[in-house]
Amino acid sequence: MMDAPRQDGEAARVLQAHRGFLDAKRRGWTFGRAEPEPWPLDAQDWKSGRERVTVSAIMSKTESLSCDIAIIGGGIAGLTAAVALGSLGFEVTCVDAQPPQPEKAPELDGRTTALLQGSVRALALLDVWPRCEAAAEGLWVMRIVDESGRREPGTVTFDSREMEEAPFGYNVPNAALRQALLARIAGMKGVRHLAPVKLETLRFESAQAVAELADGRSLSASLAIGADGRNSRSREAAGIVVKRWTYGQTAMAFSLSHSHPHEGVSTEFHRTSGPFVLVPMPGNRSSVVWVERERAAPGFLALDEGSFRHAVQERTRGVLGTVEQVGPRFSYPVGTLLAERYAAHRLALIGESAHALPPVGAQGLNLGITDVATLAEVLVEARRAGQDVGAEAVLERYESRRRPDVVARVFAIDGLNRAVKTRFPPFQALRHLGLAAVERVPGLKATLMRQGMQPVGEVPSLMRGIPLRPL
């Protein structure tokens, strides 16, 4: 009884939406796809995401969609995969649980990403980088200050100009990158973006993967790509187990403005409670990743603006002059995750569904973009050779190209994070000696810089700036 008026309201909204759809169709509007969907889902595209899911939930209980490749998860890794594969000529559908929220830039999640040159080259070839470049800042110098021992802080400085006249990479707000990806997808005929809608179940049949969505629709594809983050449901559906561990740390992320220019210098203070990292943004602004002990972080997050600014000022050691304004604070758990496999029958994993790292050394998303560039290359070569893109032999090629790089970086970052945390004096002394060696041993610094910049093993074409030939 109580529900009746609500149902009437919903029915009226559905009818209104359907009318809107027909009206739009009469006027010849399309919604980012060559063929509009038969149900009023797309009629809601100019309305809010919330209405859109209500309508699709009611009207499309039995709708079955199909495509070449279904991407589960539309974070930055999933959206980049949609652009890369769509621009090669694959029919792609990307399903994401979150509303697109293109209007929420620039403070979407407080995070920025330091993208290394290879990732920037790939995004430039995909026509994504020009759409967010203005929000990015070049990273020319990386300074590491070891404050974790009892001795005087040790410092090592890596200058990209010692290798070539180009920065190590660029720091870009996640929100700007996400907006750029969404804008690029909106203009692509072969890419369908369904959001917000959740994957409920994923099953693997002999010739296809079938995703059942929370709005009642099903989506079948020759290959499913799991891009649904650390708690990936697609990974779980394939029975892929993970190793994961935490460090008792929380990462706080925010941006700030300061009185002195940063001059393209990124500074990592290594402290036993966790790193405190300043990364340049355009103008006199920087983004901060402040890692603290899990039990201490809530106290810092709860500080009033003035006290928090004071705590931040103290930790910057004045390298940026006076800290002026501090933006909204966000927090993330710090942990490592490593999937046992990155591929299974009709499934490939990319991004944090396959691997996650503590936020030091700017590796996380760079690994995700390397996954995308490698997978795109393997899949387009397979299709051109007449192979099934979901076949195990094809996906094994992807896995064997990615595993050595991911494992090497996961253990390097894990080791770095543990080494910084340690209070055991002999290890502290070793760390100090290590930093001194980097400064003094000829050639060591350049070798470390190159290793930090390039994936281990074969570098995918997109990351070398070589476009892939579409189908």
Ligand X SMILES: Cc1cc2nc3c(=O)[nH]c(=O)nc-3n(C[C@H](O)[C@H](O)[C@H](O)COP(=O)(O)OP(=O)(O)OC[C@H]3O[C@@H](n4cnc5c(N)ncnc54)[C@H](O)[C@@H]3O)c2cc1C
Give the binding site for ligand X (CB under 6 A).
72-78, 95-98, 111, 113-114, 198-199, 227-229, 233, 251, 253, 289, 332, 351-352, 359, 362-366, 368
The closest residue (CB) to ligand X is 75
What is the DSSP secondary structure assignment for residue 131, as one 8-state letter?
Answer: G
What the block records as the tokens of 120 is: 């920037």
Residue 373, Ramachandran bin (φ over 0: left; ψ between -120 and 50: alpha; else beta): alpha
Q: What is the C-alpha separation between 297 and 149, in angstroms, rounded? A: 21
Q: Shortest distance, CB of residue 350 to ligand X, whole angstroms?
A: 7
Q: Shortest distance, CB of residue 182 to ligand X, whole angstroms?
A: 12
CA-based R_g, the chain, Å: 24
Which residue in the block uniquely carries the two structure tokens 């496999």? 341
221: Cβ–Cβ under 8 A, 6 or more apart, which residues?
Answer: 66, 67, 68, 69, 70, 93, 208, 209, 211, 390
Closest by CA to 221, choosing from 205, 240, 197, is 205
CB closer to ligand X out of 45 and 96: 96
Q: 255: burial class by Cβ within 10 Å (0-12, 13-18, 19+)?
A: buried
Strand 141-146 versus strand 64-72 pairing type? unpaired
CB closer to ligand X out of 354 and 395: 354
CB closer to ligand X out of 148 and 249: 249
214 within 8 A of 61, measured Cβ to Cβ: no
Q: Shortest distance, CB of residue 447 to ligand X, whole angstroms?
A: 21
Query: Is it true that the peptide bond before 196 is cis, omega within 30 degrees of 0?
Result: yes
CB closer to ligand X out of 112 and 148: 112
CB closer to ligand X out of 112 and 222: 112
Amino acid symbol at 289: V
Strand 330-339 versus strand 242-258 pairing type? antiparallel
CB closer to ligand X out of 3 and 103: 103
CB closer to ligand X out of 24 and 349: 349
Q: Shortest distance, CB of residue 241 to ligand X, whole angstroms?
A: 18
CB closer to ligand X out of 73 and 274: 73
Q: Shortest distance, CB of residue 353 to ligand X, whole angstroms?
A: 6
Amino acid symbol at 329: R
Q: Shortest distance, CB of residue 140 to ligand X, whole angstroms?
A: 16
CB closer to ligand X out of 216 and 321: 216
Q: Shortest distance, CB of residue 224 to ligand X, whole angstroms?
A: 11
Q: What is the dihedral of CA 376, 382, 384, 388, to 10 degrees?
A: -110
217: Cβ–Cβ under 8 A, 6 or more apart, which residues?
Answer: 56, 60, 61, 63, 64, 65, 197
Q: Shortest distance, CB of residue 113 to ligand X, whole angstroms?
A: 4
Which residue in the block uniquely carries the two structure tokens 């933006």? 327
Q: Shortest distance, CB of residue 74 to ligand X, whole angstroms?
A: 5
* Helices 174-186 and 76-87, axial angle in degrees (round to 10): 30
Q: Shortest distance, CB of residue 32 to ligand X, whole angstroms?
A: 18
80 within 8 A of 126, measured Cβ to Cβ: yes
CB closer to ligand X out of 88 and 195: 195
145 within 8 A of 316, measured Cβ to Cβ: no
Q: What is the C-alpha separation between 178 and 99, in angstroms, rounded? A: 12
What the block records as the tokens of 461 is: 């074409």
State the CB neighbour count (10 A cutoff) for residue 21: 23
CB closer to ligand X out of 146 and 371: 371
Q: Shortest distance, CB of residue 174 to ligand X, whole angstroms?
A: 6
